[in-house]
């Protein structure tokens, strides 16, 4: 529950409805009523009321015995994304990065414990085993963009993050010790970039830089992922970092020009 909200102000029905919507994910894009009830830990009668309400509102559709989300669900996040006008500003510069280095270039923001992808210029080469799209989540602590975003947190907020985050090892290189992770994030803050080596996936390196608004706060991060066998660690810094930094500076100039709309 969000800090500062009283129990009497917390709408459990709304919370359960939103959780039900999010239960339609990549693993279960469509479900029967029974499956919805089981996945959301509710009775079939309760699940039926939620599902029929969402169907009536146009957010779910029924195909025989299965329910699935409709494109109308995008309306929920559309207005938020429309306010992120910097997406339109940074995308051309991300495209330049992708063209220059021949790799996908992505942008993300911090959302709770995770980063959320807000823009992505794909490449023909699939690097990650998961398919990343706008709205995809990845853990912040072991990703290059996540560490860039975490490096802009206050000391208190960073300590709160490290306390709450479930630090799980994805590979034998994943840093899960809070003290070590704290030092790594401080180094990112000092150096102005993050280079992650095979911590999220084996054989993948990623390098990210911050994009700041006119107040100097980090509003998003952009990165490039590189297969380990293609480029050495020092080459990632010498060949990829300058391209990312140049794109970030161009984006920041655009954000300064459009400052009144931020």
pLDDT tens column, 71-92: 788 777 766 655 556 788 899 9
* Residue 1, pLDDT score: 44
Write the CB contacts of 128 (distance below 8 Å, at least 6 apart in sequence). 200, 201, 204, 225
**Residue located via tokens 């954000």:** 255
CA–CA dist 226, 59 (Å, integer): 38
> Is residue 89 domain-shared with residue 129, that is, in the same domain?
yes
Q: Can you tell me whether residue 176 is helix, strand or coil? A: coil
Write the CB contacts of 102 (distance below 8 Å, at least 6 apart in sequence). 123, 125
> Is residue 28 domain-shared with residue 131, that is, in the same domain?
no
Q: What would the two tokens of residue 207 be?
A: 């390098």
CA–CA dist 76, 81 (Å, integer): 10
Find the CATH number of the domain harbouring 47: 1.10.10.10
> Is residue 96 domain-shared with residue 197, that is, in the same domain?
yes
3-state percent helix, strand, coil for the chain, nearest multiple of 5? 45, 20, 35
Domain boundary among 49, 75, 101: 75
> Is residue 188 domain-shared with residue 245, that is, in the same domain?
yes
> Is residue 54 domain-shared with residue 178, that is, in the same domain?
no
> Is residue 159 domain-shared with residue 113, that is, in the same domain?
yes
> Is residue 228 domain-shared with residue 252, that is, in the same domain?
yes
> Is residue 116 domain-shared with residue 171, that is, in the same domain?
yes
Any domain includes 2: no
Containing domain of residue 35, as a range?
7-75
Domain count, the chain: 2
Domain boundary among 75, 108, 124: 75
Find the CATH number of the domain harbouring 230: 3.30.450.40
pLDDT tens column, 6-57: 566 678 888 899 999 999 988 899 999 999 999 999 999 999 999 999 999 9
Least confidently predicted of 22-26, 108-112, 127-131, 226-230 = 127-131
């Amino acid at each position: 529950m969000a800090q500062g909200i009283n129990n009497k102000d917390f709408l459990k029905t709304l919370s359960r409805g939103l959780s039900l919507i999010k239960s339609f994910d990549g693993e279960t894009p469509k479900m029967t009523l029974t499956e919805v009830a089981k996945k959301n830990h509710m009775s079939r009668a309760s699940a039926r009321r939620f599902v029929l309400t969402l169907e009536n509102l146009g957010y779910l559709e029924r195909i025989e015995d299965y329910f699935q989300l409709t494109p109308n669900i995008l309306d929920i996040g559309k207005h938020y994304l429309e306010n992120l006008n910097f997406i339109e500003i940074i995308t051309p510069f991300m495209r330049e990065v992708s063209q220059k280095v021949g790799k996908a270039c992505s942008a993300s923001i911090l959302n709770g414990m995770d980063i959320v992808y807000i823009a992505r210029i794909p490449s023909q080469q699939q690097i990650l085993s998961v398919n990343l799209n706008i709205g995809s989540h990845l853990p912040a602590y072991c990703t290059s963009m996540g560490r860039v975003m975490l490096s802009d947190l206050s000391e208190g907020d960073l300590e709160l993050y490290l306390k709450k985050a479930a630090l799980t090892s994805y590979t034998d290189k994943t840093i899960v010790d809070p003290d070590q992770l704290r030092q790594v994030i401080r180094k990112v803050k000092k150096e102005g970039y993050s280079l992650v080596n095979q911590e999220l996936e084996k054989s993948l390196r990623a390098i990210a830089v911050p994009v700041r608004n006119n107040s100097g706060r980090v509003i998003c991060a952009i990165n490039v992922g590189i297969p380990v066998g293609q480029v050495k660690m020092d080459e990632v810094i010498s060949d990829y970092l300058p391209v990312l930094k140049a794109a970030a500076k161009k984006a920041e100039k655009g954000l300064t020009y459009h400052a009144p709309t931020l």
